[in-house]
């Protein structure tokens, strides 16, 4: 027997599917010498012959005393008698653990047997399994990319806890730690209740009249829903005997909801049913994506690049999905309205999905009809419902800026959490805006997420906004003003663009004044709005046509107010010729136009222009790279820091592939010059990536744009659009 293996001698008591899978993985990796004990001798014989264990064993003094690790893998109610057998011979430095599906009962059994749970006993539970049982179902890969929960007790030995973590990691699991009671409540809902429902459903139908036909014509749904009713009956009987209270609590909750569904059917209340189904569908879709990330590997860690070969010409006609920023805000305002809104051409990708999920979690019914058509059943300004879990804005700063002000105006407390880079971002200006208006928001240190929002009276949102406000901060202020007791008056820097005014007026909110803007809080009315094309994509494709000789591109339904003024004011100054094909129409003065190849001229942007067009600076800078003569952008350093970061990444990329951009005294100077091409790193910034794709199309040798995950999340059909326009772009993972 070798004892130089990392985990030494390991004994599995209960060599069934889970114990066998564990043993097989350790044995195949050569990490331990495996012993198996089972009350069924046949399982041990099979265990040896199929290479799951090295030796069959008894729970006698000789065996127990030479073990470094003992893992209990019997059904949970058998563990007490197994512990009693082991106790007399157990060494204090042997790690004693288990894999049982309930934890309170196992701790109670150990306490009963030992007087108090010993320091070397640390319970565990893999969240991986199958409806199979027995050692022949052992699968050494069962735990890979799944979670294993450990529930250390107050006196657990830290060194042995460390060994338990290493043990689970060795079989491929991600280890999480939680307390016993929490474990039993969470698992009662996520695992025990579904098994109870599956067993009961199959049993009900199997004994029903017409049961033959019910099973004969059972569609895929029945099979999916009831797979787990093939699980081991002894194991599951034990689970429900062992986790009685937590299972009853979740079962009662479910029974109440089922009764509500029954009532909805009695009353033919389609709206309620639809609400539950849409919420459940989107919650599950969202949850499945998270699960996929766990099992397939996290996509945000995958590097996605786009290679662009020098392109010839772009031609044809195109209409883009709706403006992202308007989509976000229109959804929120519709959700807060006292009626039903019909929105068309909404961009439902990327960050907008996160906002939508949060609204659904708070009781808003959103119907999707494809191609960006949605119907939203508004709940009124203060009609959101407290979500079951914290509101998660993931990595979307926009969702945070738009949701936080409306959460501040609700009458329930709520926690807001985020992920990734957002967790290290201070939101000082946003918090300042909210708290000085009377909102109650507390944050983690350094103004970072998570935030706790408690109900409070919003007094007024008046005054100057902190710093040189970002577009998001302006939106936060406007949304917050919907909750203010008094009219809000904005002064100074803040210029509310015509699109925003249009959006607010569509929902019945009036604004007056231009220098000193007043927002009168009032109930919102449901609206019918068709959103204009996304302006980033419009400007991107228009510049693509302008840069590539032989191009002629028609772009449909573009808003020509607000930032849409770019098309009238700024681009023509650079030599772009816009041929308007239709008269302005509707709320956003939407028009179609044609744009063709043109020789660009350098441009000088004042600080006011830089502020107004701050979201478009990366695209404008790339246009300047290909323009004749010099360009300069003043005042970038006075913008919120992330605009400057964005431009720094852009400038580094341009210079890296042979362009000529220089910062002098805070002014960005760009000398027109066609770069050679090469590698462009967008550092995960979506707008920089979009600008780099434009840059690549016209470089001498094409280029590869790195780190395109975010832009592909925001514009999922970007590759398709590029190909449709005639751009030679391809995605590489």
Ligand X SMILES: O=C(O)C(=O)Cc1ccc(O)cc1
Ligand Y SMILES: NC(=O)C1=CN([C@@H]2O[C@H](COP(=O)(O)OP(=O)(O)OC[C@H]3O[C@@H](n4cnc5c(N)ncnc54)[C@H](O)[C@@H]3O)[C@@H](O)[C@H]2O)C=CC1
d(CA 499, CA 346): 15
Least distance between ligand Y and beta carbon 221 (Å): 22
Site string for ligand X, 182-211 (x = CB under 6 A): ---------x--------------------
655: its two tokens: 């210079």
Residue 43 interaction partner, one of ligand Y, ligand X, none, beta carbon < 5-8 Å per kind = ligand Y
Q: Considering beta carbons, is residue 15 or 570 the nearer one to ligand Y?
A: 15
Q: Which stretch binds ligand X (CB under 6 A): 124-132, 430-438, 480-488, 665-673?
A: 124-132
User: What's the rounded Cα separation, in Å, for the pair 412 and 414?
Assistant: 6
- The whole-angstrom separation of Cα 577 and Cα 21 is 68
Q: Choose among ligand Y, ligand X, none what residue 247 binds, the Cβ cut-off being 5 to 8 Å by kind.
A: none
Nearer of residues 187 and 566 to ligand Y, judged by Cβ: 187
- Say which entry of ligand X, ligand Y, none residue 38 contacts (CB below 5 to 8 A, set by partner kind): ligand Y
Q: Which is nearer to ligand Y, 106 or 578 (CB)?
A: 106
Q: Which is nearer to ligand Y, 78 or 506 (CB)?
A: 78
Q: 13 or 690: whose CB is closer to ligand Y? A: 13
# chain residues binding ligand X, by CB under 6 A: 7
**Given the complex with ligand X, which of 148 and 704 has the nearer CB atom?**
148
Smallest distance from the beta carbon of 692 to ligand Y, in angstroms? 47
Q: Take residue 90 and report the two structure tokens written for it.
A: 């157990």
**Nearest distance, CB of residue 196 and ligand X, angstroms:** 12
| Least distance between ligand X and beta carbon 174 (Å) | 15
Nearest Cα neighbor of 620 from 685, 553, 678, 687 is 687
Strands, E assignment, 178-275: none
- Shortest approach of ligand X to residue 226 CB, angstroms? 12
Instruction: Specify the residue, 231 or 696, whose C-beta has the smaller distance to ligand Y.
Output: 231
The phi and psi torsions of 103 (rounded to 5 degrees) equal -115, -35
Least Å distance between CB 317 and ligand Y? 55
Q: Shortest Cβ distance from residue 173 to ligand X (Å)?
A: 12
Task: Report the 10 Å Cβ neighbour count for 604.
Answer: 14
Provide, rounded to whole angstroms, the least separation between the CB of residue 160 and ligand Y: 20
**Which residues, in sequence order, are bridge partners of residue 305?**
732
Judged by CB, which is closer to ligand X: 214, or 249?
249
| Tokens at 492, concatenated | 């100074």
Distance from chain centroid for Cα 171: 27
Q: How many CB atoms lie within 10 A of CB 549?
A: 11
Which entry of ligand Y, ligand X, none binds 17, CB below 5 to 8 A by partner kind? ligand Y
Q: Which does residue 39 touch among ligand X, ligand Y, none (CB within 5 to 8 A, set by kind)?
A: ligand Y
Footprint of ligand X on residues 63-122 (CB under 6 A)?
Answer: 101
Q: How far is CA 697 from the centre of its chain?
A: 31
Question: How far apart are alpha carbons 475 and 342 in whole angstroms?
Answer: 22
Q: How far is CA 109 from the centre of its chain?
A: 40
Cα–Cα distance list, 288 to 257, 292, 384 (Å): 23, 6, 25
Q: How far is the CB of 74 from ligand X (least distance, A)?
A: 13
User: Taking CB under 6 A as the criterion, which residues in 208-237 touch ligand X?
Assistant: 228
Taking alpha carbons only, the member of 149, 157, 153, 143 closest to residue 175 is 149
**In the structure encoding, which two tokens stand for residue 563, read together?**
């930032």
Q: Which is nearer to ligand X, 105 or 696 (CB)?
A: 105
Which residues make up the interface to ligand Y (CB under 6 A)? 13-19, 38-40, 43, 73-76, 78, 81-82, 99-101, 126, 129-130, 133-134, 232, 235
* Nearest to ligand Y of 233, 550 (CB atom): 233
CB of 424 to ligand Y, least distance (A): 36
Q: How far is the CB of 148 from ligand Y (least distance, A)?
A: 9
Cα–Cα distance between 407 and 362 in angstroms, integer?
10
- Contact of residue 73 among ligand Y, ligand X, none (CB under 5-8 Å per partner type): ligand Y
The answer to whether the beta carbons of residues 356 and 281 sit under 8 Å apart is no
Shortest distance (Å) from residue 657 CB to ligand Y: 53
Name the residue among 144, 122, 142, 102 with its Cα closest to residue 246: 102
- Contacts to ligand X from residues 125-184, by CB under 6 A: 127, 129-131
With contact defined as beta carbons under 8 Å apart, do 175 and 148 qualify? yes
Centre a 10 Å sphere on the Cβ of residue 332 and count the other Cβ atoms it contains.
26
Which residue's CB is nearer to ligand X, number 127 or number 598? 127
Choose from ligand X, ligand Y, none: what does 134 bind? Cβ within 5-8 Å by kind. ligand Y
Task: Give whichever of 6 and 232 is closer to ligand X, judged by the CB atom.
Answer: 232
Query: Which of the stretches 123-131, 320-328, 337-345, 445-453 binds ligand X when contact is defined by CB under 6 A?
Result: 123-131
Query: Quick one: 384 exposed, middle or buried, by C-beta within 10 A (0-12, 13-18, 19+)?
Result: buried
Say if residue 450 is preceded by a cis peptide, omega within 30 of 0.
yes
Which one, 75 or 521, has the nearer CB to ligand Y?
A: 75
Bridge partners for 55 per DSSP: 35
Instruction: State the binding partner of 13 from ligand X, ligand Y, none, CB within 5 to 8 A by kind.
Output: ligand Y
CA distances from 333 to 366, 384, 457, 462, 607 (A): 13, 12, 20, 21, 32
Tokens read off for 217: 């014509």
Q: How many angstroms separate the CA atoms of 196 and 190, rounded?
A: 11
Q: Which does 228 bind (CB under 5 to 8 A by kind): ligand X, ligand Y, none?
A: ligand X
- The sheet carrying 305-308 orders its strands as 678-681, 703-706, 305-308, 729-732
Say whether residue 19 binds ligand X (CB under 6 A). no
In angstroms, give the least distance from the CB of 72 to ligand X. Answer: 14
Quick one: 237 or 491, whose CB is closer to ligand Y?
237
- Residue 419 sits at φ, ψ, to 5 deg, of -140, 170
Q: How far is the CB of 105 from ligand X (least distance, A)?
A: 13
Tokens of 102: 């309930």
CA nearest neighbour of 330 among 275, 376, 380, 391: 376
Q: Is 661 exposed, middle or buried (0-12, 13-18, 19+ CB in 10 A)?
A: buried
Residues 6+ apart with CB under 8 A from 452: 413, 414, 415, 416, 441, 442, 443
For the chain, count helices (H), then strands (E): 26, 31
Q: What are the C-alpha distances in Å from 143 to residues 89, 139, 168, 498?
A: 30, 9, 8, 56
Closest approach of Cβ 22 to ligand Y, in Å?
9
Nearer to ligand X, 191 or 470 (CB): 191
The item of ligand Y, ligand X, none sharing an interface with residue 78, based on CB under 5 to 8 Å by kind, is: ligand Y
Element (H, E) at 375: strand 374-377
15 binds, among ligand Y, ligand X, none (CB under 5 to 8 A by kind): ligand Y
Q: Which is nearer to ligand X, 193 or 228 (CB)?
A: 228
Q: Exposed, middle or buried by CB within 10 Å (0-12, 13-18, 19+), for 263?
A: exposed
Least distance between ligand Y and beta carbon 290 (Å)? 20
CB 66 to ligand Y: min, Å? 19
Which partner, ligand Y, ligand X, none, binds residue 133 by CB below 5 to 8 Å per kind? ligand Y
Nearer to ligand X, 131 or 181 (CB): 131
191 makes contact, choosing from ligand Y, ligand X, none, with CB < 5 to 8 Å by partner type, with ligand X
Q: What is the binding site for ligand X (CB under 6 A)?
A: 101, 127, 129-131, 191, 228
């Amino acid at each position: 027997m070798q004892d130089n293996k990392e985990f030494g001698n390991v004994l599995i008591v209960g060599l069934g599917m889970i114990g066998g899978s564990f043993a097989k993985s350790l044995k195949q990796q050569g990490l331990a010498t495996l012993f198996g004990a089972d009350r069924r001798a046949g399982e041990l014989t099979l265990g040896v012959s199929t290479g799951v264990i090295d030796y069959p064993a008894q729970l006698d003094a000789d065996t127990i005393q030479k073990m470094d690790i003992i893992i209990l893998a019997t059904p949970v109610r058998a563990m007490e008698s197994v512990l009693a057998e082991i106790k007399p011979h157990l060494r204090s430095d042997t790690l004693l653990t288990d894999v049982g599906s309930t934890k309170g009962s196992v701790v109670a059994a150990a306490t009963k047997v030992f007087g108090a749970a010993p320091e070397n006993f640390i319970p565990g539970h893999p969240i991986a399994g199958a409806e199979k049982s027995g050692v022949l179902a052992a699968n050494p890969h069962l735990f890979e990319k799944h979670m294993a929960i450990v529930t250390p007790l107050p006196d657990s030995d830290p060194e042995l806890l460390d060994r338990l973590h290493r043990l689970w990691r060795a079989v491929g699991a991600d280890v999480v730690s939680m307390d016993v009671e929490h474990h039993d409540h969470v698992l009662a809902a996520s695992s025990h209740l579904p098994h109870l429902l599956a067993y009961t459903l199959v049993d009900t139908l199997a004994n029903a009249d017409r049961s033959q036909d019910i099973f004969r014509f059972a569609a895929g749904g029945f099979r999916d829903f009831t797979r787990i009713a093939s699980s081991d009956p002894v194991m599951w009987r034990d689970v429900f005997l062992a986790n009685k209270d937590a299972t009853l609590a979740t079962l009662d909750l479910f029974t109440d909801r089922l009764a509500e569904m029954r009532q909805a059917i009695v009353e033919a209340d389609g709206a309620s049913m639809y609400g539950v189904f849409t919420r459940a569908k989107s919650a599950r879709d969202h949850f499945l994506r998270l699960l996929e990330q766990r099992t397939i590997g996290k996509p945000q860690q995958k590097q996605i690049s786009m290679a662009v070969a020098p392109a010839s010409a772009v031609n044809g006609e195109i209409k883009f999905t709706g403006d992202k920023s308007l989509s976000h805000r229109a959804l929120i305002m519709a959700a807060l309205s006292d009626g039903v809104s019909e929105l068309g051409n909404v961009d439902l990708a990327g960050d907008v999905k996160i906002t939508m999920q949060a609204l659904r979690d708070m009781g808003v019914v959103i119907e999707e009809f494809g191609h960006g058509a949605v119907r939203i059943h508004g709940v009124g300004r203060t009609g959101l419902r407290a979500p079951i879990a914290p509101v998660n804005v993931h990595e979307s700063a926009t969702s945070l800026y738009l949701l936080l002000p409306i959460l501040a105006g609700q009458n329930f407390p709520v926690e807001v959490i985020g992920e990734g880079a957002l967790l290290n971002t201070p939101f000082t200006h946003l918090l300042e805006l909210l708290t000085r208006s009377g909102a109650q928001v507390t944050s983690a240190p350094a103004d970072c997420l998570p935030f706790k929002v408690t109900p409070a009276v919003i007094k007024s949102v008046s005054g100057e906004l902190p710093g040189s406000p970002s577009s998001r901060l302006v939106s936060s202020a406007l949304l917050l003003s919907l909750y203010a007791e008094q009219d809000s008056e904005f002064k100074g820097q803040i210029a509310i663009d015509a699109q925003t005014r249009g959006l607010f007026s569509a929902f019945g909110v009036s604004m007056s004044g231009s220098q000193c803007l007043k927002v009168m809080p009032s109930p919102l009315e449901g609206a019918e709005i068709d959103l204009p094309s996304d302006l980033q994509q419009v400007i991107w494709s228009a510049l693509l046509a302008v840069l590539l000789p032989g191009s002629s591109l028609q772009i449909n339904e573009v808003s020509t107010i607000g930032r849409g003024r770019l098309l009238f004011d700024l681009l023509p100054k650079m030599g772009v010729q816009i041929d308007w094909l239709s008269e302005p129409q509707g709320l956003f003065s939407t028009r179609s136009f044609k744009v063709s190849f043109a020789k660009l001229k350098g441009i000088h942007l004042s600080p006011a222009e830089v502020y107004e067009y701050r979201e478009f600076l990366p695209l404008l800078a790339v246009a300047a790279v290909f323009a004749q003569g010099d360009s300069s952008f003043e005042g970038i350093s006075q913008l919120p820091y992330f605009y400057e970061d964005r431009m720094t990444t852009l400038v580094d990329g341009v210079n890296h592939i042979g362009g000529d951009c220089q910062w002098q005294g805070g002014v960005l100077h760009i000398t027109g010059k066609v770069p050679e091409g090469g590698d462009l790193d967008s550092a995960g910034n979506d707008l920089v990536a979009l600008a780099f794709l434009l840059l690549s199309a016209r470089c001498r040798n094409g280029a590869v744009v790195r780190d395109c995950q975010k832009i592909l999340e925001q514009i999922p059909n970007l590759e398709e659009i590029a190909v449709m326009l005639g751009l030679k772009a391809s995605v590489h993972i």
